[in-house]
A and B are shown apart, each in its own frame.
Chain A
Amino acid sequence: MTFPKLVVFVNSLIPLVLLLWDLYHKRVGPNPLDFVTKTTGMLTLIFLSLTIAITPLRKIFRINSLVKIRRMLGLFAFFYGALHLLTYVWFDRLFNLISMGQDIVRRPFILAGMTAFTLMVPLAITSTNKMVKRLGGKRWVKLHRLVYLSAIAGVVHFWMLVKADIRLPLTFAFILLFLLGYRLIERYTPTQQPNVNPFPRE
């Protein structure tokens, strides 16, 4: 692992370490499940946003090497998303699949969240260098556009579960709007684009 990657790796794990620390010391409030669910959910959205922010950032600031940490950020989004889902499946539904099925039908925001996570699964599976080669660059890039849908579903999931104070979901929505809007504008404005290789040597 290169040093910049190591820095990202360590920093991405810090929230998990602190969360476990708080859990161990019982500093998670009267509803630990709620606290863990909220924290892991928020982390998933943050890492998804960071992943999607890489392309605009490297174009705006012309730091191409940023792409080297993108995969790790994406995998951390998947990791925290998996923890978020596990918290729900384990401690809220006690691994009861029938009750989960009913819950998905009854609570649309659960469906949105499930969609967001499911969309990340193929991306995590095809994140290795080998899979990039097997799929071919173009198809791989196409497939990985699913991350946009996943992030949108994630923000919708968050938005649907708050009662009145939509400031946080709104913030995520704005960030996402900017990151996706940047891509759209760039795509449809005929300016000379810097030739950016999506797969630089690592």
Chain B
Amino acid sequence: MVEKSEKVTDKQVYLNRRRFIQAAVMAGTATASTLLYRHLNPPPAQQVKGDKLQEVAKAPTQKALKEGLAVNDKLTPLEAITNYNNFYEFDTSKSGVAYAAKGFVTRPWAVTVEGLVNKPKVFDLDELLKFPLEERIYRLRCVEGWSMVIPWIGFPLQKLLEKVEPTSQARYVAFQTLLDPERMPNQRTGILEWPYVEGLRLDEAMHPLTIMATGMYDEILPPQDGAPIRLVVPWKYGFKSIKSVVKITLVADEPPTTWNIQAPNEYGFYSNVNPNVPHPRWSQATERRIGEYGRRDTLLFNGYGEQVAHLYEGMDLVKYF
């Protein structure tokens, strides 16, 4: 007969210990999984507040609706507009831009307007903010298939271009975003060619619907939406509306544009919203309005056909997509 040694653990103690270890393993792995999930898939950041802009003219009159200066669609909430952004200079995840762009310094800021003009000029931001500001309630249609309705505040680009007097050789307008990897951290990566550049034909740039926006919802433009000044062309896919502009150049030939450089067969120079010309990898026939379930039909020229269709008369919109 063997004496029960003190070294042999009592069965009950053994079982208790086993249970304790199991509980610890379960709790430990569950905590690790939770942290890992939270790290990989963080909930979108909270809203970033802006400052009030100067008083602006209120738009939605019948005349404004007729001219396309406003639409009757329900406005997209500010929180959505400020937390769902494509701005690759900061982050390629739409929900991550607001956080990554927090604290982006926009002063001092100047916009150089040069090229084929009689009076080239460097505009200080304060000077630009003195242009009479208007509210424009525009639909914004992203090439990815979602849309918003945004109450912009800004002034027609036309007003700015008139000041520098384009020469008769000027046929296109080229735009450039700030290039500063210190302030725009994602410019250290090679996801796109930096700086971001865009372009319009001169008549598109001079169209009364084309504006330089400096705010929205009566507030200063927040960084994630293109502070301090950006282009808004409501009948083209969103990527044409270049953000945080530092340079505008009047040129004779069609300027290079960033997404067209990236994938020429997917993103054309014109990039007018057109439900009949599919993107090579997805349809453009419908869109999801942020805040709505299901999808709605996409409108030709994003619904601004009455105002802009004449710009493209006789042009093959499939060839010049």
Q: Name A's B-contacting residues (CB within 8 A).
A: 3, 6-7, 10-11, 14-15, 18, 22, 27-31, 33-35, 39, 42, 91-94, 102-103, 106-109, 160-161, 163-165
Contact = CB atoms under 8 A, between A and B. Distances in A.
Point out which of B30, B84, B281 has the most chain A C-beta atoms below 10 A from its C-beta: B281
A11 B282 contact: no
Q: Which DSSP category, helix, strand, loop or mixed, fits chain A's interface? A: helix
Interface string B216-255: 0000000000000000000000000000000000000000
Nearest to A21: B43
B30 A106 contact: no
Interface residues of B, number: 42
B314 interface: no
A153 B146 CA distance: 25
B83 A29 contact: yes
Contact of B79 (A15, A30, A94, A102): A30
Nearest to A38: B41
Given A10-B26, A30-B83, A92-B288, A107 B283 contact: yes
A160 B44 contact: no
Contacts, number: 92
A22 B80 contact: no
Contact of B293 (A30, A39, A94): A94
Interface stretch (B31-39, B131-139, B151-159, B169-177): B31-39
A112 B88 CA distance: 26
A18 B34 contact: yes
Q: Which DSSP category, helix, strand, loop or mixed, fits chain B's interface? A: loop
Given A164-B192, A165-B92, A7 B282 contact: no
Closest 6 CB pairs of A and B: A30-B80, A29-B44, A165-B92, A106-B283, A27-B43, A30-B84
Contacts of A33: 288, 293
A109 B191 contact: no
A22 B283 contact: no
Contacts of A160: 281
Contact of B288 (A6, A31, A39): A31
A163 B258 CA distance: 12
B291 interface: yes
Contact of B88 (A30, A31, A109, A165): A165
B84 A29 contact: yes
